Amino acid sequence: MKIDSATLHRVRLPLKHSFQTSSHRKDHLEHVLVRLTDETGAVGWGEIASPSDPFYAPDTVETSWLIATEYLLPAILGREVEHPGRLGELYGKVRGHRFAAAGVDAAGWALWSRLQGVPLAKALGGERETVVAGVSLGIERTIDELLEQVQRQVDAGYPRVKLKIAPGWDVEPVKQVRAAFPALNLHVDANGAYLDIPEHRSLLRELDHFELAMIEQPFAPRALLPSAQLQETIETPVCLDESVDTLDDLRTAISLRAGRILNIKASRMGGLTTAVAAHDLARDAGWPVWCGGMHEFGIGRIANVALSSLPGFTLPSDVSASDKYYARDVVFPPLVARHGAVAVPTTPGLGVEVDEDFIAQHSHQTHRKQS
Ligand code: OSB
Ligand code: MG
C-alpha cells in the first residue's frame, strides 16, 4: 500500500464517570484520531490515546500532535509499504513518543487489513471470536461509593474488576471489596505509586492476603529490581504496565523476574506490531498477558479487541463496552459487552463504521497532509 493522505483530528469527549488514578483525576479525554488513505481512496483509522498530562508516560496530547505532524506523517506519506509491520522502519529514528507512533501504526494496520479484505484480528494472528472484558475502577471518594461502582459493574456482567490503589487507598478498600465480593476476579493497579521503602513494601505484602489475581505496577516504571524483590516475597503475581515500553524492557523484566504477568497496551509500546511481538515473547517465557486500556474511544478500543483475540491473551482485557466510558462513541455500532464478553469483528479492517460527522463535530484541531 502507498499512503497518499493523512488527517489528524483532535477530539474531546466527556467521560460518563470521572476517573481518579494515583496521579490525577480526569472527567474528559482528548485523543488524536489518525485517518490514512491510500491512492485508491481506501481509509484506515487509528487512535493516539495519549493522556493530556505527562503523568502516565512522558507523552502528552501536545507532544504527540507535534511528533505526528512533524516527523511521523512526513516519514510515511508517499512511501510504498508492503506490510504494516514495516511502517515503524520509516520513522525508526524517532525515539520514544510511542503513543503518537501507535496511532499511526494502528491506522496503517486498519488500512492494510481493509485492502486485504481480512478482519484486523485475523491480520494480527487473532483466533478468538469473543474476548473477555474487565473493568478498571478509579479511586472513589468513599469506600461506599467504590462498593456501589463494583456492584454496578458486576451487575453489568463483567467477570473481572480492577481497582486503582495508592498509599492511603489500598488495604482498607481492598479488604471491604473482597468481603463484599468473595468470589470476584479482582486485581489492583498502583500506577507506580509505591516507593521502595519498608512502609510501602509492607502495605504491598498485606495485599497478598486478598486472593488478588495480580498487583499491577506497584513501583515506578524503571524500578524493576524492587519489583523483582517484591515478587519474590509474595504469592500474588506482579503485573507490569508502565515498566515495559519496548521488547528490550520485556526481556529485561523476564530475566529479572520482575513480575509474572504483562499488561500489553499497543499505545504504550508504539503500536500493534510491537504489541504482537511482546505477546509472542511473553508466551515463550510463560507469562500470561492481557490487553490494558487508555480509555480509548471506539477506534482504539476495537483495535484492542482485535489484539486481545490472540491466543496468549488468556486474562480478561480492559476492553469494556463504549457505554462504560462515553455517552456516544466515535464508531458504529458501539462496543457492547454480553455477559462480560465483547465480540471480535469479522468484517475487513477495523470491522466497525467510523462516525466521521460526529468526529468532525467534536474535533477542535485538524491537520491534513497529502503525499
Ligand atoms: O494503568 O491501566 C492503566 C487509564 C489511564 C491510564 C492508565 C491506566 C488506565 C486504565 C483504564 O486503567 C483502563 C480502560 O481503558 O478501561
Ligand atoms: Mg495499569
CATH of the domain at 176: 3.20.20.120
* Nearest-angstrom CA–CA distance, 189 and 13: 24
295 within ligand 1 shell (Cβ under 6 A)? yes
Label residues 339-366 b or e (16+ Cβ within 10 Å = b): ebbbbbbeebbbbbebbeebbeebbeee
Q: In degrees rounded to 5, what are phi and psi of residue 220? A: -55, 155
What are the cell numbers at 275? 504489541
- Its domain, for residue 91, covers 3-117+352-370
**219/26 Cα distance (integer angstroms):** 22
Cα 120 to averaged position of ligand 2 atoms, centre (Å): 25
Average confidence (pLDDT) over 259-266: 98
The alpha-carbon radius of gyration of the chain (Å, integer) is 20
151 shares its domain with 267: yes
| Ligand 2 centroid distance, CA of 347 (Å) | 30
Q: Tell whether 250 and 317 lie within a shared domain.
A: yes
Nearest CA to ligand 1 atom 1: 191
What pLDDT shows up at residue 23? 79
* Ligand 1 contact via 268 beta carbon (within 6 Å): no
Is the same domain home to 97 and 159? no
Looking at the fold, whether 66 and 95 belong to one and the same domain comes out as yes
Q: DSSP string covering 208-240, please?
A: GGG--S-EE--B-TT-HHHHHHHHHH-SSPEEE
Our count of domains for the chain comes to: 2
**Residues 136 and 91 reside in one and the same domain:** no
Q: Using one digit for the tens of pLDDT, what is the confidence trace for 132-190? A: 999 999 999 999 999 999 999 999 999 999 999 999 999 999 999 999 999 999 999 99
Confidence of residue 349 (pLDDT cuts 50, 70, 90): very high
Is there a contact between 301 and 119 (Cβ–Cβ < 8 Å)? no
> How high is the pLDDT of residue 25?
87
Q: What is the mean pLDDT of residues 286-294?
A: 98
Considering the domain architecture, whether residues 107 and 203 belong to the same structural domain is answered as no
Same domain, 329 and 194: yes
Residues 191, 371: Cα–Cα separation, whole Å: 40
pTM listed for this prediction: 0.97
* Cross-strand bridge partners of residue 136: 162
Helix axes 272-285, 247-256, angle to 10 degrees: 20
The reply to whether 357 and 326 lie within a common domain is no
CATH code of 38's domain: 3.30.390.10
Contact (CB, 8 A) for 160 and 239: no
68 with 150, same domain: the answer is no
In order, the DSSP letters of 22-69 are SS-EEEEEEEEEEEEEETT--EEEEEE---SSTTSSS--HHHHHHHII
Half-sphere exposure of 350 (CA within 13 A, CB side): 29
Specify the 3-state DSSP secondary structure of 128: coil
User: Are residues 203 and 90 located together in one domain of the fold?
Assistant: no
Joined together, the cell numbers standing for residue 266 give 499497543
Cα of 137 vs centre of ligand 1, distance in Å, is 9
Is 132 in the same domain as 279? yes
- Domain match, 55 and 146 both: no
Question: Residue 41, class by beta-carbon neighbours within 10 Å (0-12 exposed, 13-18 middle, 19+ buried)?
Answer: exposed
Convert 148-158 to b/e letters by CB count within 10 Å (16 or more is b): ebbeebbebeb
Nearest residue (CA) to ligand 1, atom 5: 294
Above 90 in pLDDT, residue 197?
A: yes
pLDDT bucket at 22, cuts 50 / 70 / 90: confident
Write out pLDDT tens, residues 101-138: 999 999 999 999 999 999 999 999 999 999 999 999 99
Residue for cell digits 487508555? 294
Alpha-carbon span 103 to 63, nearest angstrom: 13
* Residue whose CA lies nearest to ligand 1 atom number 14: 293
Gap between the Cα atoms of 60 and 62, Å rounded: 5
Cβ neighbors of 117 (< 8 A, separation 6 or more) are 348
In sequence order, which residues have a C-beta less than 8 Å from that of residue 284 and are 6 or more positions away? none
Atom of ligand 1 nearest to the CA of 293: 15
Q: What is the ipTM of this complex?
A: 0.98
All three cell numbers of 139, joined, read 479511586
Q: In DSSP terms, which residues pair with 187 in a beta bridge? A: 162
The arithmetic mean of pLDDT across residues 263-283, rounded, is 98
Residue of 13, 23, 27, 136 with the most ligand 1 atoms within 8 Å of its CB, for mutation: 136
Average pLDDT over residues 75-101: 97
